[in-house]
Amino acid sequence: MKRPTKNSVSKFIYVNGLYTSFADEVQAQVAGQRTKARTVFSAFAVGFDYTMYLNRYLYGWTLNVLTGNVDIAKTLNVSYPRRSFLGVQTGPELGYRINADMDLSYGLGLLYRDINSVGGSFVISNQINVKFRLTPRLTFFQNFGNYGKPKSYSYSVGMRWLL
């Protein structure tokens, strides 16, 4: 006879605020033709996290709205002024609760960004997420990753509050 085990399932909704910076390539309009240009984005974001813990494993979904600035590199001897952009980022997250105060997870995200006077585009991101609980309701987090291209990177730092 096997003793029945209790599955511990916990579900939480967080509101978060973060600063993010990432580099990527965009299609820029230069002298009537479109060309790839390296860009550096910096933005502030607000959003929601849904997190479900099943024993020590976590499953989640994130939705963030971003706004910030884009620096587009000089392309074909044409310099660009700083542009503003709006974006929406969403995606699933899988991870492990290391201890009562720390989670480590992987997030796969889809980011839509609309750059003023350049246009919109979709990109897929890969993120490693580290979360530290400072209080039972407040969590500090950092995300590191890329956008699947050799010269891209992303970094985020923020706080989330349990609703």
**Model confidence pLDDT, tens digit, residues 95-114:** 999 998 999 999 999 999 99
d(CA 147, CA 140): 23
Question: Does 2.40.160 match the CATH number of domain 9-151+158-162?
Answer: yes
d(CA 90, CA 125): 10
Mean local confidence (pLDDT), 42-46:
97
d(CA 36, CA 24): 10
Prediction pTM value: 0.86
Q: Give the residue with greater pLDDT, 78 vs 1.
A: 78
Write down the domain spans for the chain.
9-151+158-162
DSSP state string for 40-58: EEEEEEEEEEEEEEETTEE
State the pLDDT at residue 108: 93
Nearest to 116 by CA among 73, 68, 44, 65: 68
Instruction: Centre a 10 Å sphere on the Cβ of residue 102 and count the other Cβ atoms it contains.
Output: 13
Torsion of CA 53, 15, 63, 43, to 10 degrees: -130
